[in-house]
Chains A and B, each alone.
Chain A
């Protein structure tokens, strides 16, 4: 009769010990790395219906963010501009471009362009652009160097811990309100950032953002 436990069962304890140590470690490391918004969300770069280049319009032509995103100072939403804003220039510039055909169609028909949203917080988060702009948080702080992006890409995780990093210590992230849309602003060395404008007291309680 054959042995119930063949000799290689002698190695079971050490194999079990290694697997028991390695398995949870790998699982934790995997969750830490792959479940984080730094992995799942950062780098999202959807293909838009028209390949609008912020690098050209902001970086080279020098348009201010608010030329198109005009509601950012007065509304919770930083609007995507109506097609009419594109046509301010493109009724005369590049008016035959095939890439701009959807824009011309939208302007003629009145049907909105279906731009694909890049930056999105969960629907139970009530983020207000106007409050952040008024507190001197620059566009670049959350959106990255838009003026260098051919296609807009999400650069920050927009996660709760990332929000709280700043809400708990906003000083280093603030700038004068007049420099909010300046992509290249750097803090002067001799002044503490927190001294620029009125003091702010961002909420860190749940109802500050979830209501």
Chain B
């Protein structure tokens, strides 16, 4: 397993170089002059603009700029934004918020999705099953910003149960509604996935054998159906962890949450190349590492998996 983990970590190097180069090139090719935009309508004095261009190596060819950027990354310098704030500082501020939101979302979607999916799978074809199949279809079909705004209006404004926006006030209570909104789509997928695998596993030969041993129905479900059914669900959750940690641009926008998604969105609007590239690369790495962790955890659930 150590060899497997080492190989996966080594595989990250080319991914890292590829991702930075690609993103850097895309930002470089954006048809806008960030320095000119910095001055607003009046424009910067030419001397100041030139100085800024030199500071950010904007007057050099692309590959040289990229080289400077890589050098910075390797020395732990993620660069500074055009507003002179270090990107690392901004990430350090935004990432914990995203982490909180992501973990709340993950717990909600996993618990609700697996719970409802299990019950629907056991009572396949019943009222409960049919109801949640329709609900999940709606949740998948409706775009997240509609659910977000509807939730905000209903629970935040009309009923006043939770604050409608988060702002600087990041805590469990303010993040609760955004987490539920963010969880809806994945909840629907997890529900359906769990239901399908539970139905499949309930008909498995080894489950019939377990019943024939004289086990009570509850134990057959919890020991022989649930654990086997969770294997594909965990795979899905693994990719979802990466996606959630990457920040939720839309949801963070609706509820004004100062997370990574918001940071990235603002940087793109301002054409801040160093910020965009650094944040994106950071997210790529978070995605790869969280996937590796999930893959390793997988073996805990399924002993057949050999890491080779």
Q: Do A and B come from one complex?
A: no
